[in-house]
A and B are shown apart, each in its own frame.
Chain A
Amino acid sequence: MKKSLLFGLIFLGGAIALLVSASKDITSYASFSDARKSGNAVKIVGQLDKTKDMVYDPVKDANSFSFYVMDKSGESIQVILKAAKPQDFELSEQIVVTGKMKDNVFIASDVLLKCPSKYKDEEIYIKSQS
């Protein structure tokens, strides 16, 4: 039994080590003030602040899209996404931005949108008269 016990223990040890290591990647949703403090890449969940302007001018820079996100604490911060403006951006209910804070602007490398599902969309299209 010794050999299998030994291997079993090695496996268990390795497994626990890997799981602990994996769980380090699992972050809590941060706020902008956390991002400011840590300086590391964080994920922020918030909503698109529709009262402020969205700017995407591809003629100037195709890889810069600026908008404002309000995080869960209610702070609204300018976010610059270093890519083209994603589709259906205006429709998003919730936004998850990944990036870092720099001079009070959040520079995002990635953005994930949660859009209202088409299944919840209870709008019924009425046939046009033609």
Chain B
Amino acid sequence: MTGIQYQGEHLWVQNLGYLFIIFAFLSTIYLAIIAISSYRKEGKQFELYHKWSYLGLGFHAICVLGIIGLMLFMMMKQYYEYHYVWEHVSADLPMKYILSAFWEGQEGSFLLWMFWNIVLCLLLLRHKNQFTWMNIGIIMIVQAILMSMILGIHVFGYRLGSNPFLLLRQTMDIPLFKNPNYVALIEGNGMNPLLQNYWMIIHPPTLFLGFSSTVLPFAYALSGLITGKFTEWLKPCLKWSLFSASFLGMGILMGGIWAYEALSFGGYWAWDPVENMSLVPWLVLIAGIHGHLIAQSTGYSIRATIVFYFLSFALVIYSTYLTRSGVLGDTSVHAFTGLGLGWQLVGFILLTLIVPFVILFHANKSIPAIKQEEKIESREFWMFIGSLILLFSAVLITFTTSIPVYNKLLDFFGGIVGADWKSYHRSAPVDVVAHHNRFQIWIAVVMALLSGFGLYLKYLGTKLSGFNKGTFVKIGIIVVASILLTLLTGYFLDRSNISIYVLLFSTWFVIFGNAYYIFTNLSQNPKIKGAVMSHIGFGLLLLGIIFTGLNRKNIVPEKFFQEDSIFQEDPESINRHFLLFKNEKKYADGHWLNFKHDTFENRFRKYTIDVVREDTSGKVQEEFTLFPDVQYDNKLTKVAAANPFIRHYWNKDLFTLIAQIPAVQMDVENAKKVEDSLRYEHYTFHLQDTVLGKKYYYVLSEINKDYKDPKVELNDDEIALQFTILSGEIGQTANTTLKPSIIFKTDEAFKLPVQDSKTGIRIDISDSLAYTISKMNLSAKPVRFSLKESEEFKAPDDSKFKLIGFEKNPATKQYQKQEGDIVLGAKLEIEKDGKKSELMPIYLIRNQAEIFVPVINYSKGVKLAFTHINPENGNMEFEYTPLNLPQSIPFRVAENAPRTDYIVMEIIEFPGINLVWTGSLLMVFGLALAAYYRRK
């Protein structure tokens, strides 16, 4: 499509964007080389290298901020000729979601990652040490690889990265782009409505800060190996490991809250691949932190710590690959789709796996290790076991989550040897939640037990003799207290078995063990506050998981299970949903539910459901209202998402969701299908006459000519009619009133059909009425008459016209005075159909021509023109055209309209959900606190 001069494109954005991207990419390479090689320089040269590194970092930061700024600029300005803008923005996107729209796409989220990398470099510079520039160099290598993901240049026929500044016409070839003025014609696709949620403003940046900061322990460990300072890196690195774990944890937690509050699955964790792959690096990082603490206090497990940190970062990259290459396909609901970055990401993973481990292998012998074994009664021994178990938890999760990757590998190697191994493809477990829970619960039990007593042990062990009575007594107290608490809380569980009791015991063991530690031992080492807090948080999280998992229940009208149901073993899967008719109360498990109304506003259909909760004796406990809604897509063609409404209590949540709405409200296509399925009969109605339908009869009792539709503004010469039709079953008294209406604007007519849900009657005004009325003006015969002031004329239809006065400076909607006009308005009193009113037709002479501005008033049934002033006798001449509405109104009536006054709901009670949030927050704050104590 060359040779077309396109109009309205803002190509300077692209040019500047390309420039920033190229410079940002080149500056990473420059900075990586300078920063890493500065390590061997000394004295003046050292200073010089640093000066150049500072400059390079500043330049790089400006370029990346420039890219981000440009992207935000073109998104705010809605330059739809850019693919990224078209893809993620639409005119109706609220400005507050512009950032969410920015990181909705892959390129934007890579840029977010790079932004944080720069922030991390600046943070590192605040606490300079011997590893700082090496670390920055390593981060810049990572940055260069990330940069390559948005380069969008072709190297040896392979496209490297996906450029955010591509024009729409550069990404697809459609006839629209033959039009030089296409920019004026397109509008944005808009943001996925599911992501238009405030959590999407804060969750991605937090998670990405967590992801990107895993590079810090990775870089420190690698710097330590490269520089041969195998133990010196430990101390300055620890705060960053804790910092990273804290933010990554926070990011994962926010993802859980978002899923719970905005998604419809009714839970905070679904073992979805995307969730799993954000959890796994965190687990390994936590394992690394424990190894790190051991290494710093005892000198054991330095190598293990390095391995944990390397793995944690590699897993972040692996997670990026899984979520962004499209490999997850049908196993995850919220994976990104591929942008063809698959191989590039595979290369990235291999690089992060191979290079650091080769370096580790080379340095292996030189890393100091203690020959003597850890003592079994030492803290480090049990901590290390804990780390291994965390690692193992990560291995298990990754093992199952990677199934799509195994399939992909089969295809790849099958392709090499020319065999089709599709039959070996495997799918994720049938019940993925049960699958993971089965293993992770036991891992949690061990972790909880270890974290419960670990703090009471001492580094490097206490001789058994010195493993004193005090410690034994303390642990004894904890065990007894935990057993009591287990029995007490177990009583409140809806379901339980022996393994649940074991889990519950270990949960109380870690909570009580750490809480007790605060009172007995804390004064000895204040730095350990963070650890205690995190461990208590872990315990509370487990407690929350137990209660939300086991006591979660669906609130449904009647709980009956079919005898022969094959789902007896899993009663949760049936009868989750229930139907609620408008204004028909329904009793569900102690709750009286009443669906009052729904309102449509701003792409949302909001529902109001009144609830009265009663106790078993029927006494009212509380009254409240639920407001769940459904959200339509940006083009209002269909429902895009159902947004839950959650009522919070101190001890539980009530999670409510609209699961289904009537088909006609779902989407345009379904509405059409329903309309097509209606069997309409055509009838002509006369006022007060009875029309017989198949099952019901109808009486047109009133025609309101002065009907005012609240949404449509009418001029005098436009009309809206509302018909009142009474209906009843044949042989019965009328019990239904329907009020269809029709609005005539100057150039169009709107019909407003009505439907009665209970009877299934739908009445629509025939199109022929619109035609009749629009032609009325032309078909009626005008009556001409002349009057002097205060004379009266009676038309053949008995309408009376009396000239009551004149207006020399008339101003109406139809007439605006111009220079040189000779104008006169005649005021006439009219009496038609027993109603009196005043009208003012206008007569004028403009440029020597006679012009008349008639009054057209449908509701009065009059068209009146002031046509001439007779200069000889002073008579005013008028022309009256009766605009009488037809006496017979054609309607079409269907009696099989499906009900549209219901919703299908789901209500879930989540006890203990606050424990999940509190526990997770404590874990995250504990990590942050630990980082804070080590900030120096």
- Could you tell me which A residues sit within 8 Å of B by CB distance? 1, 3-4, 7, 11, 15, 18-19, 21-23, 25-29, 41-43, 45, 56, 58-59, 62-63, 82-85, 87-88, 90, 94, 96, 98, 100, 102, 107, 109-110, 112, 114, 117-122, 124-127
Contacts and interface: CB of A to CB of B under 8 A. Distances in A.
Interface string B296-337: 000000000000000000000000000000000111010001
A120 B337 CA distance: 9
A123 B80 CA distance: 14
B427 A43 contact: yes
Contacts of B388: 11
B392 A15 contact: yes
B439 A94 contact: no
Contact of B185 (A22, A121, A127): A127
Interface stretch (B43-51, B359-367, B393-401, B764-772): B393-401
A23 B660 CA distance: 37
A62 B578 contact: yes
B376 interface: yes
A25 B438 CA distance: 11
B172 interface: yes
B69 interface: no
Contact of A26 (B337, B403, B574, B898): B403
8 contacts: A7-B385, A18-B439, A62-B659, A63-B576, A84-B577, A84-B906, A109-B570, A119-B337
Nearest to A107: B566
B174 interface: yes
B582 to A, nearest CB: 13
Contact of A112 (B86, B188, B330, B567): B330
Interface in B369-409: 373-374, 376, 385, 388, 392, 395-396, 399-400, 403
Contacts of A11: 388, 392
Place the interface of chain B in its size category.
35 or more
Contacts of A45: 330, 427
B20 to A, nearest CB: 24
A98 B374 CA distance: 49
Contacts of B918: none
B635 A125 contact: yes
A127 B185 CA distance: 6
A75 to B, nearest CB: 17
A98 B431 CA distance: 8
Contacts of B424: 28
A28 B573 contact: no
B337 A3 contact: no
Contact of B574 (A15, A27, A82, A98): A82
Given A58-B902, A84-B659, 6 more contacts: A29-B427, A45-B427, A63-B575, A83-B576, A98-B430, A117-B337
A21 B330 CA distance: 24
B612 interface: no
Contacts of B187: 125-127
Given A26-B427, A87-B642, A127-B185, A3 B376 contact: yes
A84 B265 CA distance: 12
Nearest to A122: B172
Contacts of A63: 574-578
8 nearest interchain CB pairs?
A25-B429, A84-B659, A109-B573, A117-B337, A84-B577, A114-B330, A62-B577, A84-B660
B579 interface: yes
Interface in B528-576: 566-567, 570, 573-576
A45 B427 CA distance: 9
A27 B329 CA distance: 17
Contacts of B392: 11, 15, 18
Contacts of B426: 26-28
A2 to B, nearest CB: 9
Contacts of A90: 669
Given A22-B435, A59-B579, A62-B660, A118 B902 contact: no
A59 B899 contact: yes
A16 to B, nearest CB: 11
B904 A124 contact: no
A29 B430 CA distance: 10
Given A62-B904, A122-B174, A41 B430 contact: yes
B668 to A, nearest CB: 12
A28 B385 contact: no
B777 interface: no
A83 B429 CA distance: 21
Given A45-B330, A58-B660, A63-B577, A22 B87 contact: no
B159 interface: no
Nearest to B635: A125
Contacts of A3: 373, 376
B566 A100 contact: yes
A70 to B, nearest CB: 16
Contacts of B339: 119
Interface in B454-492: none
Contacts of A23: 399
Nearest to A30: B427
B202 interface: no
A25 B434 CA distance: 10
B176 interface: yes
A6 to B, nearest CB: 11
Contacts of A28: 423-427
A127 B373 CA distance: 74
B186 interface: yes
A126 B182 CA distance: 9
B701 interface: no
Interface in B617-638: 635, 638
A83 B265 CA distance: 12
Nearest to A95: B330
A69 to B, nearest CB: 14
Given A59-B902, A122-B172, A22 B400 contact: yes
B276 interface: no
B275 to A, nearest CB: 15
A71 B168 CA distance: 37
Contacts of A56: 660
Contacts of A15: 392, 395
A23 to B, nearest CB: 8
B150 interface: no
Given A62-B577, A107-B566, A109-B570, A27 B430 contact: yes
